[in-house]
Amino acid sequence: MATPARPGRLAVLPALLLLAACAGKAPDPWAVTSLERAYRPPAGDIAPSGRLALRAGLEPAIRAMAEALPAAGLEVEAVDLDAGRIAAVYSGEAEPWLDCGWFVPAGAADGEWLPATRLLARIVPPGAPSGTVALRQLRLDARLVVRGEPLGDLVELDSDVHYLVTRTFDVVAADGRVLRTERATLVFDTGQSGRLDENLRCRSNGRLEQILGTLAG
Amino acid sequence: MDYLRSLLVTLRTLLVASAASGALSSSGQTQETDPEAQLWAEALEEGTPDAFQNYLDTYPFGPHAQEAFEAMIVTALGSRSIEDIEPADGGPRVDVTPLGDLY
């Protein structure tokens, strides 16, 4: 003779089934946290705005800076000699200008830290289908604005930068098909740090803010 | 899904209307359109990389220049923009509406 199930036991059954289903679900090998199995954020102080005093007139100082910026890899977008302003943009590798910490890719040995500013990293997580890889790309788009202000026989130049860091993961099959793309952009300005998620935190290394001093020197 | 889409359209319309109204002077007697604000409102409404580049070409030092640069990159890359920033002094975090959500 069968014993009727008690209502209490019936209520527990769906919860147990749900628990079993969750326990059996394999982690997503292409999630960011799976592709980057360890992350060490940048340390140290955040670079302040760039400031430089030159013994020159406003117009010659702005003109000289505008002429020198392309040598540092920046494209001058606009120059206003009367107001003493320059806008310049940069697009490309983040490594020269940012510190985004370090990460260990999935499938790499312990201690194989890569700079998170790395332009391109090829990641093969354990258990991935043969030939399928994740391509991690990081690019920087930055806009530098220089403002000049006459100060007696000097010109004081200030510079601030608007940073956009875009990280893209493309999961590519052996035949070249892109199976999945995840792309996100973090935004911050000079004097700040930006955080995309637990695996990416970026800050300026100060070189772009100090570029005026470098060019003047 | 349709509800979300119509909500986004409504929000965008409100945003553009708000930007356009900001373009009007508040003298109370004659209301003139500020061409800079008008162009920014148009760029927001169009929401394309070319529209934001056009704003930057016309007003490279305008009040929305950095926003236009950001919107141009985000729309061109088809990315979602995240602004989770911390000031250098370790003070309170600044909450900014992600620009990418507006398009």
Structure tokens of B1? 């899904």
Q: Which residues of B touch A (CB under 8 A)?
A: 56, 60-61, 65-66, 69-70, 73-74, 77-88, 94, 99-100
Q: Check A184 against B66: CB less than 8 A apart.
A: no
pLDDT for residue B9: 47
Of A89, A93, A90, A94, nearest to A78 by C-alpha is: A89
pLDDT for residue B95: 29
Q: Bridge-partner residues for A206, per DSSP?
A: none
Residue B4 in this model has a pLDDT that exceeds 50: no
pLDDT for residue A49: 85
Q: How far is CA A215 from CA A40, A72, A153, B38, B92, in A?
A: 32, 8, 20, 38, 35
Q: Nearest CB to B79: which of A85, A184, A188?
A: A184
Q: Within the 137-196 window of chain A, which residues sit less than 8 Å (CB to CB) from chain B?
A: 141, 143, 145, 162, 164, 166, 183-189, 191-196
Smallest CA–CA distance, residue B55 to chain A, in Å, is 12
pLDDT for residue A105: 94
For B49-58, what is the mean pLDDT? 97
pLDDT for residue B103: 22
State which residues of chain A have pLDDT below 70: 1-26, 217
Q: Check A80 against B61: CB less than 8 A apart.
A: yes
Q: What is the pLDDT of residues A161-178, one digit of tens each?
A: 999 999 999 999 998 899
pLDDT for residue A197: 87
pLDDT class of B94 with cuts at 50, 70, 90: very low
pLDDT for residue A111: 87
pLDDT for residue A217: 63
- With contacts defined as CB-CB under 8 Å, which chain A residues touch B69? 89, 141, 143, 162, 164
Residue B33 in this model has a pLDDT that exceeds 90: no
ipTM over 0.85 threshold: no
Q: Check B61 against A189: CB less than 8 A apart.
A: no
Q: Which residues of B27-59 are buried (b: 16+ CB within 10 A; e: fewer)?
A: eeeeeeeeeebebbbebbbbeeeebbbbbbeeb
- With contacts defined as CB-CB under 8 Å, which chain B residues touch A45? 88
Structure tokens of B40? 């920014």
Please state the pTM of the whole predicted model. Answer: 0.76
